[in-house]
Chains A and B, each alone.
Chain A
């Protein structure tokens, strides 16, 4: 039971509320996507879930345990890893070191050899470049590295914030294939995306966030067929 559920979450910065009343269910082992325009609050929700931003009200439950008040490291230790927006890797650490630091919460600097093998298996390209500096990788490789680093904490749940942003179309395809592949290993995934078509293809359920509130949710297939989603997020009239 490691489903992630958010109930009536409200959060923001200072006096500004970015999330008003957000409820979301991510069933164990499934991919749920969260769509929404710029400024809808998608990244804020990720920050809340990873413990970087405190909730003003509402709650977050992981498999029945309340994790609303936990700090980021406790959340990572409970198997919830985040791939932040915009390929945030460490440019002056080698690829290997970038990955190793993903096991930071384990307190031993060498921990995670098995996970390193798993990440290299998942992304053979990273193995080829293990001793190169992270900053010398291409955009797509950096995104793989960011995902690989998150996998180092052996997550049961992965939060992906716009993994396809700024990538060439062919690389976007690779990223979504990776997500599907990760999902097959049993990892629960919350996928925040602007690329609605690709996200709904890989997800089982979807939510639409609009100005801090969930305006629509349902099975991915139903959302794809929904005229409101087609018009606003799929570019179909």
Chain B
């Protein structure tokens, strides 16, 4: 009936698989470089740098999820910070009220964020601009819930007395352990998402993001993949959120406003839409730079706006695009590109 049996056994040969393997190898090489830099530099600087790097890692995890969702699959979300909030509150409340162990609370909170993301996806079975506007509304609803459901969330004042991270009976509360935990979170998320983008699903996501109609015409079930990518993106944000209260030692809804959603979008745009390492570099820029410009706090959003516009004009493919261009040029100088025969 189907003709696939004869060809599916065929061993990939020639340049087809070679170029793919090469780009996969490059991706993992970049992974190692980025993670090694990230793991080594802050401990060398020590102290405050460790704290900042922990926050960078948290935003990077959320940005990685958003990158898959927006940069790859083209499902723009304007309310992504809400899912950080869902993760943060779920995890803390489970630990505080029900004594759920840290790791279990993290797992449940991540899953809960993915489910809330799916709920959003189902509620707003919309496409194009309508979906974007609905995600914006959804983000605001979550924020309102967090700030007004005082009996559970502590309302605007938020929650204090965050239980320390306890894994297998050991308590972690110093900066270095927080940093190491955040690094592990980041490495795992980055590796899993990188693997995903290399597979069949990753291709389907990219196809979906670039041309939905064409994707459908080759049999890609667009609706299911949209739901999957929304769940992944929101799950990653939730996972990132679970660390936030332990780092800040308090939790309040102001961390999850639409401005934060905007910051996440700026992170992936400045880093380079569609690029996973770009999302991490973007998080470094958007978290570290404001820390050193604290004196100009009131102008923060203005600076973000300018940064976004300037990067759209001078580097439309973000920092990742610039780095890629440089690498291609250096390579081209050493070994001229193969010419097809």
Contact = CB atoms under 8 A, between A and B. Distances in A.
Interface of A: 50, 52, 71-73, 75-79, 81-84, 88-93, 96-97, 100-102, 104-116, 127-128, 130-131, 146, 149-150, 153-154
Given A71-B221, A84-B217, A114-B7, A91 B19 contact: no
Q: How large is the interface on B (under 10, 10 to 19, 20 to 34, 35 or more residues)?
A: 20 to 34
A108 B12 CA distance: 11
B313 interface: no
B13 interface: yes
A82 B4 CA distance: 18
A90 B210 contact: yes
Interface of B: 1-4, 7-8, 10, 12-17, 19-20, 199-200, 203-204, 206-207, 210-211, 213-214, 216-221, 274, 340
Contacts of B199: 109
B16 A90 contact: no
A191 to B, nearest CB: 16
Contacts of A102: 218
Contact of B3 (A79, A90, A109): A79
Given A92-B210, A101-B207, A107 B200 contact: yes
A78 B2 contact: yes
B214 A111 contact: no
Contacts of A111: 4, 7-8, 10
B2 A153 contact: no
A96 B3 contact: no
Given A78-B2, A127-B340, A88 B214 contact: yes
Between B7, B218, B340, the greatest number of chain A beta carbons within 10 A of the residue's beta carbon is seen for B218
Contacts of A73: 219-221
A146 B221 CA distance: 19
B219 A90 contact: no
15 contacts: A73-B219, A90-B206, A90-B211, A92-B210, A111-B10, A113-B12, A115-B7, A128-B340, A131-B19, A150-B217, A150-B218, A153-B218, A153-B219, A154-B3, A154-B4
Contacts of B8: 106-108, 111
B218 A104 contact: yes
Contacts of A77: 2, 4, 219
A190 to B, nearest CB: 14
A211 B13 CA distance: 50
A88 B20 contact: no
Contacts of A116: 16
B211 A89 contact: yes
Nearest to B198: A109
Between B207, B214, B221, B340, the greatest number of chain A beta carbons within 10 A of the residue's beta carbon is seen for B214
